[in-house]
Amino acid sequence: MAKKKELWSGRFAKRLRPQVKAFTASLPFDRRLALHDVRASLAHARMLGACGILARRDLAAIERGLAAVRREIERDRFAWSRDDEDVHLNIERRLTALVGDAGKKLHTARSRYDQVATDVRLWLRDEIDSGLDRLAALERALLAQASRHADLVMPGFTHLQVAQPVTFGHHLLAYVEMLERDRERLSECRRRVNRLPLGAAALAGTTFPIDRARVARELGFEAVAENSLDAVSDRDFAIEYCAAASLAMVHLSRLAEELVLWASPRFGFVRLPEDYCTGSSIMPQKRNPDVPELVRGKSSRVVGDLVTLLALMKAQPLAYNKDNQEDKEPLFDAADTLNASLEIMAGLVSGLRPDAKAMRAALAQGHATATDLADYLVRKGVPFRDAHEAVGRAVREAERSGKDLASLPLATLKRFSASIDADVRRVLTPEGSVAARDHFGATSPRQVRQAIARARERLKGRGSRA
Amino acid sequence: MAKKKELWSGRFAKRLRPQVKAFTASLPFDRRLALHDVRASLAHARMLGACGILARRDLAAIERGLAAVRREIERDRFAWSRDDEDVHLNIERRLTALVGDAGKKLHTARSRYDQVATDVRLWLRDEIDSGLDRLAALERALLAQASRHADLVMPGFTHLQVAQPVTFGHHLLAYVEMLERDRERLSECRRRVNRLPLGAAALAGTTFPIDRARVARELGFEAVAENSLDAVSDRDFAIEYCAAASLAMVHLSRLAEELVLWASPRFGFVRLPEDYCTGSSIMPQKRNPDVPELVRGKSSRVVGDLVTLLALMKAQPLAYNKDNQEDKEPLFDAADTLNASLEIMAGLVSGLRPDAKAMRAALAQGHATATDLADYLVRKGVPFRDAHEAVGRAVREAERSGKDLASLPLATLKRFSASIDADVRRVLTPEGSVAARDHFGATSPRQVRQAIARARERLKGRGSRA
Amino acid sequence: MAKKKELWSGRFAKRLRPQVKAFTASLPFDRRLALHDVRASLAHARMLGACGILARRDLAAIERGLAAVRREIERDRFAWSRDDEDVHLNIERRLTALVGDAGKKLHTARSRYDQVATDVRLWLRDEIDSGLDRLAALERALLAQASRHADLVMPGFTHLQVAQPVTFGHHLLAYVEMLERDRERLSECRRRVNRLPLGAAALAGTTFPIDRARVARELGFEAVAENSLDAVSDRDFAIEYCAAASLAMVHLSRLAEELVLWASPRFGFVRLPEDYCTGSSIMPQKRNPDVPELVRGKSSRVVGDLVTLLALMKAQPLAYNKDNQEDKEPLFDAADTLNASLEIMAGLVSGLRPDAKAMRAALAQGHATATDLADYLVRKGVPFRDAHEAVGRAVREAERSGKDLASLPLATLKRFSASIDADVRRVLTPEGSVAARDHFGATSPRQVRQAIARARERLKGRGSRA
Amino acid sequence: MAKKKELWSGRFAKRLRPQVKAFTASLPFDRRLALHDVRASLAHARMLGACGILARRDLAAIERGLAAVRREIERDRFAWSRDDEDVHLNIERRLTALVGDAGKKLHTARSRYDQVATDVRLWLRDEIDSGLDRLAALERALLAQASRHADLVMPGFTHLQVAQPVTFGHHLLAYVEMLERDRERLSECRRRVNRLPLGAAALAGTTFPIDRARVARELGFEAVAENSLDAVSDRDFAIEYCAAASLAMVHLSRLAEELVLWASPRFGFVRLPEDYCTGSSIMPQKRNPDVPELVRGKSSRVVGDLVTLLALMKAQPLAYNKDNQEDKEPLFDAADTLNASLEIMAGLVSGLRPDAKAMRAALAQGHATATDLADYLVRKGVPFRDAHEAVGRAVREAERSGKDLASLPLATLKRFSASIDADVRRVLTPEGSVAARDHFGATSPRQVRQAIARARERLKGRGSRA
């Protein structure tokens, strides 16, 4: 039941209906911004003081009061009241209770529109930093495995058919590339998150002679939002973050898909660490790859969050509309999901144990070195398209006789091209195949080691926050 | 820290890592299914008893235990433990603590896969029933307003340009049609929700001679799922529900958009009830239509939920994969959002007060009866395309002279067509215009009243559950 | 360059800029509706005639003219002009060129808003009928395979880990269930598609005494849209169709995923018909499952189409806004994608050849009958939870010794439960396992045959349109 | 009917079924990449020549042949054949027809996987450059209007309620900020697009000693993709582009929404150029803002394209799968939609004519200077929260007496706060209000002019490509 008067209620004859209060209140989710709100309020108050808008003694009272509020929040002793709608009014009300009239002056020269935009940006900046660290940690876990298994040969797949031999290290490095792009995108997104909206007030700026650059400096913002209407209504930063997070989750879901495949007895390429697996309530033998499955599933929710935000902002006239309050839950969910998934995947990847024998067995099915044979013919002067055709026919023969191409006798191979000689043998082995792919970006162990070194160089000095 | 042994842990040498337990646990959200879980377990146990799979005394113990569990849940005294992963294992563990070995027999002939599918369907059936009631309540609120204002003339818009006069009642009835389709869709969806998966066990059925039809009867399911692999992995019902909910929310968002427009001083067509509006922390004069804005915004999150579920299920091999655990939060969110939005909109609509004066003033801008003039000419024998052309030129003249078409002198009108006579006056009034549109589905007050009667007939006996 | 005058240009001083004409023209995609447009115009004209709004000789001229137009369209001789914006104005202009003033009368009592809504509904009704037929055809293809392989045992998977033995027939029937729900949804959607908007005119109905029921009868609509504002602005039918199509595509994508897995040499469970596979431009040995991969990919575009339509309609005020023109391309794309995918999958499924040997080999890895052993113990009086624990420990021993549970010696098994006797052998075989799951919806060959019979009964008399 | 043999068909006994060929062919859409394909093939061939993999005379033949192919394409004389599946095989086949065996050597050391990835990146780079130019052009159009109307006062809205006076120039600058962020994002996306995949071959690199850096230089790529598996399967660049395009379209949809509102007679704030408007086929008076409505609608389709691509890539195992072929149509659609929308909006914005009188009239409704009055009281020593309360009560009185706050007599105002004096008048005028908001980012004409100058500086030297 609403008992206290709303802080904005001067013009209203009727009290807000309790059911409407429950529908419109954001406190259940924006409480999460409490410490960022205090921090931004402090910077705002100090600027008001420095600009002569707030008397020295009022500033002192506010500083004292906000410090008390912060302690209450940190110790989980703050008495949140749904009656006060949101985190901002809760804190302002408590401040005024603690320090009296000075508290009523804090909201000078600002509105909740620029205030919440500031809080969310501060919060998101922290989440991005955490995400950048976790991306780096996952990259390092992949690099450690890649380094350990730079020579380990496995079948590379396209269309889930055996394509060509690759090294396990090379395969893992593909994910390092994806995550590296994610780090780039998040870093660039961070720059756009890190602009100060405060000072835009309701939408037009304020009549007080404020110093926005001072607030930006104190809060670590790189720039001040250039247009007040845009500053209060812009949610680009949330959408861009969710887009970057969606893409990162798509990468994790691809890795997760492969782990699920590889952990299946049909592949058996890796063994997942047992403390990352769960059993079944009915089937006693089960050892399920729940973690990658959940990560794969969770990628969908971040895509959903992104869609929500895009649909939310579409066709909104300027400036702030209440719709924008719906930005927080999807944004929070996207950040939580991404950061939790990155962390758990780093642990999982570190514990992977590849099974060289299973990989070797799989290489024997699928004529993995057929391209090598075609290339071999090209080097003997056969045009590639004709070489391809000849090897294709040899594969047909191998299939017919139930063998892998690599194990066909030389005499049989020669039936498909007179250019085939005994030196073809090395070309048909997986080791020969990967060793021969020895240029920038290719799968030879030598190239894999160089790629690892480059990737480690890129990561240097980054992510040490983790 | 995980202390208890997992109920499925026989084959595991290592305990689940606490961080992994936190990542995979569904208890934080599936607790919501607790009472449905108890209900389904009871029906399952009774069937096991009736089929001779469970001894009479074991059944009695389980019934007693589950009754105790239900009371604990209802009184919020159940000691939930994240350690037990999910709602099912929590309840099974508690049951066994209460009644001993009999509790260990409850999971005979079922798995958590068919169990959770059953729980969610029971839960969703209740949510749909609640949604159907709320749809009916909102329709009734619209019909009451439509009935009160069946004669009230306002400008109808296309492209947000004045198009033709309509009655306010007729305009509101458009939403009744949309909501009626939503009721149809939800009812049909309910039939597909209301099929029993229990008995599918893990994926293949069970070796015990169970009687699924008995369980279906006891739980009020209309049918038994025909294929066990499908029964445990199917999430169609969740997707179909979210699709129906998305569409319903799109309807609410359209109504919300109009309320926001109409409540703007630029339109001033309606006054929202004051206890549904909020003020501003900075601008003392504000009286904001937060409720329709939030509803408009919330439509986006249901679309996001739908996308999440579609992306979640895409390309999953049979049968159950852990990804499916991610179905609950979006589904819960969609149902909560839809049902809360329907309820608040019913209240808001009931409190609307249209402003006939503002509507009338708006009718004087935009040449709203131009089509009536063209139709008039057609009735005098002018081909429609030529009539349209002539009236178009008359409008140009009206614009040039800063007047509305309806206020042009007869002499001026005659310049555009010799067929125009003094009897054109009635045709050019808004009242004449709406009265003349008097066929099935059109805007005349007479038709509006008939449409209201038909709509009330459709609603008869429905939604009384609210 | 725009040369002809626009048919609506009476009030305009300036001509539409050619660049704008190109941007706004819908002819490039709505031409597809041409024959439906002619058909609806004919019905409209005949109704105008029957109601005395159109003179007999005018009607005769219009009928003659539209017949000529139809022939031109069918023979691809119609001279489409982008200058005339859309399919409607193209046809009206041509009609007037053919029959003179009578052509200018056709647009009496209608607008392009209700006209295009009518055309699209007629078109979509045809597409749905085609979809229903193709769903039935794919179901029949699955049933034929299921019938052939009702006894063929393969490992059922959950989490892509071996779970329990199932029959190949039972597995395929899971998809029949999904498709059957798709048929239900499409049929119900069809009823909502099949309502006549014509007569709503611009948004308010018309001043002419039209007979909408007559038009509905002639065009085969089941009902007349009840509210004119809703009739012209409603796109529910398109959204509902795309939602149903998305779900159907999700089902196809799941089947496609399994076919890709099964066709991989790692599984080898099925051989795809060679004329449904393609090779590689570089790897001579490749035989790629392009068709299921494309179907899996195409499911995404239908989800995208659905999102487009939901976002499109969200928050649009009544009645028609030009945004609605963007409904066609996603709707066309969704229908084309669904219907093409259904057709190709029916062919592909018919050509599948399962590999019993590979399935059998896979059954030997993963302790597929562990649940059967637990159930066996339950039947001997062990509480299920204790039986599960005992079998779990036995699986651990099997893993340690590199064997499958089913091949552990009896003596070893007895170490985990004294209740295990020689009669356990049958329980541990795949055949025993599937035969024992013999209740409604379960995997035993007997149940599979009954399920096939029921499914065939449901399909009887349906889909013969294909 | 398929008549020619597929270029990859050596191993196949059966021909591809025509229906399957139609389903899998990408030629209908990838033809669009033809010139980029030729360009990339030339660079590839020259590198093969430089590295000694291709004989000088073969290179010469290929160069000659590809030049001929390019001419045929440019003159629309190339005989495309659906039989050859895609743009690549069409061109290779034609080349071989023109120059014989040399043509069969072109595909040495590459696959269609790295080839198409290269083509699409080249194409997208061009589209991004075009988008950057069009963004700049639209910004310039907005800046020109903002500059012309830097002093024009209009009501600023929040919640579509009158909030505070702003200048029209300031309002338009909000969009300049949004578009400037779009330019940043697209530029950063371009860097990630502009990496060379060629040389990855099928997935593992090639056995030939290729020089990828040379190819990158010739084609203007900034970097070489570091990992071959990633290079062929990565579609991040497409997703990132669609995300950036979605956000840009959301901005355009917001501007479009405002133009639709402003052009409505209810607002009347702007007059759209008549050659950007269309009429109605039925309502002779209509002058519809089709262009902004379509832009608003089209924003939805780019969101749909983005969703398609995210769902497409989710959970794909490495490396290339056929699903990826579905990347092109959504990507093409997104780029076409964005670039066309940007161009048409630049023209539309340039032609806008604001209506100062309508804006002024709207300012008189809504108590737009209430915040100014509260600030005034704060400057007189009243705590902000008390000032807000006092003004709120004054607004209530104004509403009661049917007046705007600004027109209340001084005596009445003083009833709400003794601190109000005659100097309050200037504060209550719109001009006084905007002039007083005179800090960085605020709405005063002085600030607007400075912001315009800064924006022009940022644009300097950019977008001159347009």
Q: How confident is the model at residue B42 (pLDDT cuts 50, 70, 90)?
A: very high
Q: Tell which residue, A64, A4, A66, has the closest CA to residue A35.
A: A66
What percent of chain C stands above pLDDT 90?
A: 89
Looking at D159, D281, D439, D464, which residue is catalytic? D159
Q: Give the residue with greater pLDDT, C2 vs A266.
A: A266
Active-site residues of C, by number, are 159, 280
Whether D111 and chain C come into contact, CB under 8 Å, resolves to: yes
Mean pLDDT for A36-40 is 98
Residue D453 has pLDDT above 90, yes or no: yes
Q: How confident is the model at residue D13 (pLDDT cuts 50, 70, 90)?
A: confident
Nearest to B105 among C160, C310, C383 (CB): C383
Q: How confident is the model at residue A349 (pLDDT cuts 50, 70, 90)?
A: very high
Cβ neighbors of B111 (< 8 A, separation 6 or more) are A280, A281, A282, A283, B200, B201, B202, B203, B232
> What pLDDT score does B432 carry?
95
Nearest to A107 among B282, B291, B322 (CB): B282
pLDDT in tens, A355-411: 999 999 999 988 999 999 999 999 999 999 899 999 999 999 998 898 989 999 999
CA-based nearest distance C330→chain D, Å: 8
Residue C465 has pLDDT above 90, yes or no: no
What percent of chain A stands above pLDDT 90?
A: 89
CA angle D279, D284, D286 (to 5 degrees): 45
Residues of C (50-109) whose Cβ lies below 8 Å from D: 85, 88-89, 107
The structure tokens 């070797």 sit at A360
What percent of chain B stands above pLDDT 70?
A: 98
- Chain C residue numbers with beta carbons less than 8 Å from the beta carbon of D325 are 294, 297
Mean pLDDT for C144-165 is 97
pLDDT in tens, A289-319: 999 999 999 999 999 999 999 999 999 999 9
CA–CA dist B135, B248 (Å, integer): 9
Strand pairing report for C195-196 and C223-224: parallel
pLDDT in tens, B269-328: 999 999 999 888 888 888 999 999 999 999 999 999 999 999 999 999 999 999 999 999
CB atoms D389 and B284 under 8 Å: yes
DSSP per-residue string spanning C281-313: SS-TT--B-HHHHHHHHHHHHHHHHHHHHHHHH
> What pLDDT score does A308 carry?
98
pLDDT in tens, D265-281: 999 999 999 999 988 88
pLDDT in tens, D206-265: 999 999 999 999 999 999 999 999 999 999 999 999 999 999 999 999 999 999 999 999
What do you get for the CA distance between the two ends of chain C, in Å? 45
User: In this complex, which chains have at least 3 CB pairs below 8 Å with chain A?
Assistant: B, C, D
Burial environment of residue A56 by CB neighbours within 10 A (0 to 12, 13 to 18, 19 or more): exposed
Mean pLDDT for B58-77 is 98
Least confident of A136-140, A343-347, B404-408, C130-134: B404-408
Neighbours of B340 (CB within 10 A): 17
Residue D12 has pLDDT above 90, yes or no: no
Domains of chain D, CATH where assigned: 17-108 (1.10.275.10), 113-150+167-210+226-358 (1.20.200.10), 362-445 (1.10.40.30)
Q: Strand, helix or coil at C420?
A: coil
CA–CA dist D117, D124 (Å, integer): 10
Cβ atoms of residues C40 and C219 within 8 Å: yes
Residue C90 has pLDDT above 70, yes or no: yes
Residue C226 has pLDDT above 80, yes or no: yes
Return the sign of the alpha-carbon dihedral for residues C38, C40, C43, C45.
negative
Mean pLDDT for B233-262 is 98
Cβ atoms of residues D348 and D276 within 8 Å: yes
CA-based nearest distance D393→chain C, Å: 34
Torsion of the alpha carbons at C71, C74, C75 and C79, rounded to the nearest 10: 80
CA–CA dist C153, C444 (Å, integer): 10
Whether C164 and chain D come into contact, CB under 8 Å, resolves to: no
State the complex-level ipTM: 0.96
CA-based nearest distance B74→chain D, Å: 41
Cβ atoms of residues A84 and A34 within 8 Å: no
pLDDT in tens, A86-103: 999 999 999 999 999 999
DSSP per-residue string spanning D277-339: -B--SS-TT--B-HHHHHHHHHHHHHHHHHHHHHHHHTTPPSS--GGGGGGHHHHHHHHHHHH
What DSSP character marks residue D161? E
> What pLDDT score does A1 carry?
35
User: In this complex, which chains have at least 3 CB pairs below 8 Å with chain D?
Assistant: A, B, C
Q: In whole angstroms, how far apart are CA D396 and each of A95, B464, D319, D391, D408?
A: 28, 40, 67, 9, 11
Q: How confident is the model at residue A420 (pLDDT cuts 50, 70, 90)?
A: very high
The H or E element containing residue A186 is helix A168-193
What DSSP character marks residue C166? E
- Chain D residue numbers with beta carbons less than 8 Å from the beta carbon of A4 are none
Q: pTM of the prediction?
A: 0.97
Residue D303 has pLDDT above 90, yes or no: yes
Mean pLDDT for B162-174 is 97
Q: Which residues pair with B164 in a beta bridge?
A: B156
What do you get for the CA distance between the two ends of chain B, in Å? 45
> What pLDDT score does D293 carry?
98
- Chain A residue numbers with beta carbons less than 8 Å from the beta carbon of B277 are 12, 16
Q: Give the residue with greater pLDDT, B112 vs C2.
A: B112
- Chain D residue numbers with beta carbons less than 8 Å from the beta carbon of B162 are 265, 285
Strand pairing report for A223-224 and A195-196: parallel
> What pLDDT score does B8 carry?
77
DSSP per-residue string spanning A302-340: HHHHHHHHHHHHTTPPSS--GGGGGGHHHHHHHHHHHHH
- Give the count of Cβ contacts less than 8 A between chain C and D: 219
> What pLDDT score does A5 carry?
73
CA-based nearest distance D251→chain A, Å: 8
Residue A464 has pLDDT above 50, yes or no: no
CA–CA dist D269, D207 (Å, integer): 67
> What pLDDT score does C5 carry?
73
